[in-house]
Structure 1
């Protein structure tokens, strides 16, 4: 799934703070949003392996949620939303496509790596690939759900709208990006040769 899909999902998870710690609402939404993005920072290394920890985040977020409920500490509460969103991201990626360059082809059995179990969870391809039309529809749904909850926070609402717009643009160009890259590589190779 797209990073913005995960971020909006995390932001919506953070919005649940309105029932538990309403005084931390906006900070919890931000922590959830950032936690939803965090695992995809491993795009620079081994994607869905370096920062995706489905089992590890499950344990860590459980401990932090328990500590947040027991203490009410500001930082522990925000850390619990951040890690719970990273946990959700890591598990939800299993519903998407695999790690191949063109995930819509469905040629790999690598979805998300579990360090704890030392194995790859296979991609279920319910959302066929990041940027697929169904991924964008999920982004729109999440954005439409989160936006009204942020009434009174216009800057946060702008982040939600920008996330949906970015998701829409990415969905439009997703399959064309690899073709453009291949064209540019051939072009530069022809200049060198």
Structure 2
């Protein structure tokens, strides 16, 4: 999935807070959005879907973060829980996408996401064929609705900006390998 989809999923994860603790909702949504994009920073450092994608280890942080957020609720502990939850969901969600390759529509890679405790890659499920595919863009649009409807201010503005990025990226995705050959290196 493209990063905008993961960011939008973060908003969905944070949406229930608008009902239970509306005063914390903007902070929690921004933390979940940041957690949603965090694993993709390994595009710039290390190996994508391996260096910062932890489909197992993030859950080992989510559980104590949840306990801490319940035992000592504060904006920081609650935001941290949502950050790690969103990062964990991102890491698992990439398993259901295309392979970790520059041209995933060619299906030349059987590497979806690396599972560190097993020391191996999971094979892509390809329910979302590639990042920026039509179904990926549709997911981004659907998952963005809570950010546009339930939130105001920075969360709504950021959600709208993410949607614009998603539409542009989806429109040019198949040209990205040709437009940016340095990505292959």
Same fold (TM over 0.5): yes
C-alpha RMSD over aligned residues: 1.5
Q: Distance in 2 between matches of 1:157 and 1:76?
A: 23
Q: Distance in 2 between matches of 1:63 and 1:47?
A: 26
Cα separation, partners in 2 of 1:178 and 1:20, compared to 1, 3 Å? same
Contact 2:11 2:146 in 1 (8 A): no
Contact 2:100 2:109 in 1 (8 A): yes
- Residue aligning to 2:10: 10
Displacement of 1:155 in angstroms is: 3.3
Contact 1:32 1:84 in 2 (8 A): yes
Aligned positions, number: 181
Contact 1:67 1:76 in 2 (8 A): yes
- Residue aligning to 1:189: none
Contact 1:103 1:128 in 2 (8 A): yes
Structure number having the greater helix percentage: 1
- Residue aligning to 2:162: 163
Displacement of 1:180 in angstroms is: 2.9
Q: Which has the higher contact order (CA 8 A, sep 6+)?
A: 2
Moved over 3 A (4+): none
Q: Are residues 1:145 and 2:143 paired?
A: no
- Residue aligning to 1:126: 127
Q: Are residues 1:42 and 2:81 paired?
A: no
In the alignment, structure 2 segments of 5+ residues that lack a partner are: none
TM-score (norm 2): 0.92
Displacement of 1:177 in angstroms is: 1.7
- Residue aligning to 2:25: 25
Q: Distance in 1 between matches of 2:101 and 2:41?
A: 18
User: Larger C-alpha radius of gyration, 1 or 2?
Assistant: 1
Contact 1:53 1:114 in 2 (8 A): yes
In the alignment, structure 1 segments of 5+ residues that lack a partner are: 185-193
Displacement of 1:69 in angstroms is: 1.4
